[in-house]
Amino acid sequence: MKLEELNIKVITGNEVRNKTIQAEFNKKGGRYFPNTINSNNLSKFNALAIFITHEMISITKDIDIFLQNELTETPFDDAIEMINNLEDPQPEFDIKQLQDVLVRDDIQNVWYLHRFIRTDNIRFIADNNRYTQLIPFKGNETLILTNTNVTEWWEVEDGEEILKREKQINGK
């Protein structure tokens, strides 16, 4: 499940669980909306409650707000599991034109040193050749002309640069 698909409400019950769920949410790229505690009815609801929607997390101590919200109420442990199972956030592709990169077409091929030119709909273009996999040269210098597998590399899907991770191939 993607972060933007997660829409739940959770009674955290105490500050420790509140911070736990916020920390796990932040690891997955979620944002915290800090000004969401309604101070009008703090005495009505002793436990903190959290809403997760639109990639944002917000908290309330108002039982009326919690009950009126139409999000699915989820037990704390289930919410933590759902958050931990979210897809990892996609980092920004930060390879610049003419930057040295290592490229290849599949895991059986060796890594070649080329200069990155651009991306088309399905491949990276480097020194007027097209490749399906790309990694930065810096930090991977020892991989030139080896077919050593790496834990992270870039591929192109529908014209978008996507970071792939080893667990995606092994099904983990």
Amino acid making up residue 66: F
Instruction: State the Cα–Cα distance between residues 141 and 160, nearest whole angstrom.
Output: 25
Distance CA 96, CA 85 (A): 32
What pLDDT, on the 0 to 100 scale, is given for residue 151?
A: 92
- Supply the pTM of this predicted model: 0.57
Q: Could you list the pLDDT tens digit for every one of the 172 residues in the chain?
A: 888 889 999 988 888 888 888 888 888 888 766 544 444 443 344 457 888 887 788 877 777 888 888 899 999 999 999 999 998 777 889 999 999 999 999 989 999 999 999 999 999 999 989 999 999 999 999 999 999 999 999 999 989 999 998 764 444 3
Q: Residue 134: which H helix or E strand, with range?
A: strand 133-136
**Cβ count near 73 (within 10 Å):** 13
pLDDT at 153: 95
Q: What pLDDT, on a 0 to 100 scale, did the predictor assign at position 33?
A: 62
Strand partners, 51: 9, 58
